[in-house]
Amino acid sequence: MKIQLIRHATMFLELGGQKILVDPMLSPPGTMDPAQNSGNNRRNPLVDLPNNMPDLDKLDAVMVSHTHRDHFDQVAVETLPKEIPLFCQPEDEEKMKTLGFLAVEPELDAVLWNGIQLKRKKGQHGKGQMREKMGPVSGYILQTPNEPSVYIAGDSVWCSDIEATLELYKPEVIVLFSGAAQFLEGGPITMTSEEIERVCKKLPDSDVIVAHMDAWNHCLLTRHELNQYIDQRELSHQVHIPEDGEWMEYL
C-alpha cells in the first residue's frame, strides 16, 4: 500500500491495484475565503498543491469524508470525471448527484469494491453544540488481502466512535486529521496533540500518519509544534507527519 499526502486532507491511495483520491481540495492558494470567526483573515488554501500531483485522469475512485469546502471544493467538482465511482456518506448522496456525479456510492455498513472491503465509520466533528453545527462526518476502513489495513478517521476529535473502531478493527495504518481546527468559540473540531497521543496508546503497534495541517486558516496546530510534542512523548517511532507531496509505503 502506498499513500501520498497531497495537501491538507487530500490524499492519494494505491491499494489493491486501485488508485483512490481522498477528500479532493484542489483550489489554487488564496482563492477561497477564510474560515470565519477564526481569529485571522488568511485566505485559503494557505499553500499551493505539490508539483508531483497524481494523474487525475487515471483515478479509479474518489472517497469523500464530508463536503466541507476544505475537503471537497468547487475545483474538484469541475475537474473530476462525473462517471468516476464516488464513495460518500449517505447524508451527502443527494448533493453529489445534484453536482452531476453519476456513480455515487453512499455505503452504509460495508461495500466490496474491486477486491477492497470498504467500511464507513462515524466520527465526531467537535463536541457539544459545535458537533451539531459542523454536521455529520465519516471515516473509512479499507481492507484488502496481502496489504496492511488502513483507517482514515476523517475530521473527528477523539470520541467513542473512534475508540470503538480502533478496538474492533485494529488497523495497521491510521490516518488522523489534525491541526486542532477551531473557531473563536466551541473548542477544537479536529484532533489535538493530546488526542493523537491517545490513539497511539490505544494501538501502540499501528503506524500513525497525521495530516490536515498548515494549509487552512483555522487549523492552528502546526507540523512543527506537533513534531515537538511527538518527540517529547517519545512517539516518533510510531507517528509520521508527512510534508505535502510526500509518498509513504507500507508493506
Residues 204-236: tens digit of each pLDDT: 999 999 999 999 999 999 999 999 999 999 999
Average pLDDT of span 93-119: 93
Average pLDDT of span 190-206: 98
Count of domains for the chain: 1
192 falls in which pLDDT band (50, 70, 90)? Answer: very high
C-alpha cell at 146: 496481502
pLDDT averaged over the chain?
97
C-alpha cell at 170: 485494529
Average pLDDT of span 50-74: 96
**CB contact burial 181-207 (16+ within 10 A = b; e otherwise):** bbbeebebbbbbbebbbebbeebeebb
Whether the CB-CB separation of 2 and 248 falls below 8 Å is answered with: yes
CATH of the domain at 161: 3.60.15.10
**How confident is the model over 15-33, as pLDDT tens digits?**
999 999 999 999 999 999 9
Closest listed residue to residue 195, CA positions, set 235, 243, 168, 224? 235
pLDDT of residue 107: 74
Q: What angle is formed at CA 13 by the lines to CA 219 and CA 193, rounded to 5 degrees?
A: 30
Closest listed residue to residue 220, CA positions, set 177, 181, 248, 169? 181
Contacts for 77 with CB less than 8 Å, ≥ 6 apart = 99, 100
Range of the domain at 202: 2-249
Cα–Cα distance measured from residue 75 to residue 65, given in angstroms and rounded to the nearest whole number: 17
**How confident is the model over 112-163, as pLDDT tens digits?**
999 999 999 999 999 999 999 999 999 999 999 999 999 999 999 999 999 9
pTM of the model: 0.97
pLDDT of residue 90: 95
